[in-house]
Amino acid sequence: MIVIHSYTWAVILAVVTMLCWGSWANTQKLAARSWPFQLFYWDYAIGVLLLSLLLAFTAGSTGTEGRSFTADLAQSDFKSLSSAFLGGVVFNIANILLVAAIAIAGMAVAFPIGIGLALVLGVVTNYLATPLGNPVLLFLGVGLVTAAIVIDALAYRKIPGSSVNSTTKGILISLLAGFLMGFFYRFVAASMAPDFANPEAGKLTPYTASVVFAVGLLISNFLWNTLFMYRPLAGEKATYSDYFTKGNTRLHLIGILGGAIWSLGMTFNIIAAEQAGFAISYGLGQGATLVAALWGVFIWKEFRGAKGVTGLLTAMFLLFVAGLALIIVSRLY
């Protein structure tokens, strides 16, 4: 199993996570032109599992440290398996809500509000469980990110044509998604051994945890996504027959790609957690908010025509960057 042994590599992997988690939703934006996000989400869930399995059978089964994927899975206990599985279930409902919020409010709004809140809750819960890093610097960084979230919400209200009802609905769904997403990572972290190179019996290594998490995500999709297919928060109702009759190879591959991008970030993030600590690793990964906002502002032009937002958006980006920098250095002092 391939593991890392330095904080520098942990930061690099967390930055890759940031890019992956902040970019996967572009695939949803592309697919949304042709079919509902609920149908896209089936392919996304499949992509998450496929990529986790690919990494588990390659990097997770290579080298002399730790346990290979199959050996690790065979020795794992029920408590660890159920914890990682539950992480996938909780993440899934949170992420479906986030995708719905993207459809309603756009990436530049749903990500900063939803993922920003998840960052705050996730850092707090994971730091309380495994307190690594300078708490003053860490939580000051989280505070700056929180301020960026508030500023982004203010900027969104200036978009022409965004009604009060639409604004309120998008923000509320984003907040609910962020609240739930703030807790999924703790379940995954609790399933893993603290020492990846010499893992204790019964606990999971990160590659195995990623696969079990993905299985929980896909299986729970039959509950959560079915509910949103027939009782959608945005758009029209979708059915299972629509998935097979209205989709094409391109649409399915776009969804699978989106899931694979997110899954790569997830596996890299929990690998980085051994050296960085779960709170810092998760916090850096959720800097995806900044990446997604950049996509939304500069590529998707979601604030086109909005007046008086340049200063707000600039302040949001600066606060995010400063907050992420403090999160990084908090492990060094």
How would DSSP label each residue in 248-296?
-HHHHHHHHHHHHHHHHHHHHHHHHHHHH-HHHHHHHHTTHHHHHHHII
- Per-residue pLDDT at 167: 64
89 lies in a domain? yes
Beta pairing partners, 204: 192
Residue 293 belongs to a domain:
yes
2: in domain? no
Asked if the structure places residue 271 within a domain, the reply is: yes
Q: For tokens 């500023």, what's the residue?
A: 151
- In a domain, residue 178? The reply is yes
Alpha-carbon span 309 to 234, nearest angstrom? 26
Give the count of domains, the chain: 1
Asked whether residue 172 is assigned to any structural domain, the reply reads: yes
Whether residue 323 lies inside any domain: the answer is: yes
Which residues, 6 or more positions from 155, have their beta carbon under 8 angstroms from its beta carbon? 303, 306, 309, 312, 313, 316
What distance lies between CA 57 and its chain's CA centroid?
A: 23
Q: What is the DSSP letter of 331?
A: T
Q: What is the pLDDT of residue 37?
A: 85
Query: What region, left, alpha or beta, does residue 170 occupy, with left being phi > 0 and alpha being psi -120 to 50 degrees?
Result: alpha
Greatest Cα pair distance, the chain, in angstroms, is 59
Closest Cα to residue 183, out of 271, 134, 281, 117?
A: 117
Q: What is the mean pLDDT of each run of 10 residues along the chain (333 residues)?
A: 96 96 89 87 97 98 94 98 98 90 73 82 94 95 88 78 65 91 96 96 98 98 96 88 94 97 98 96 88 84 84 92 94 89
1 is a domain residue: no
Give the domain extent around 238: 7-329
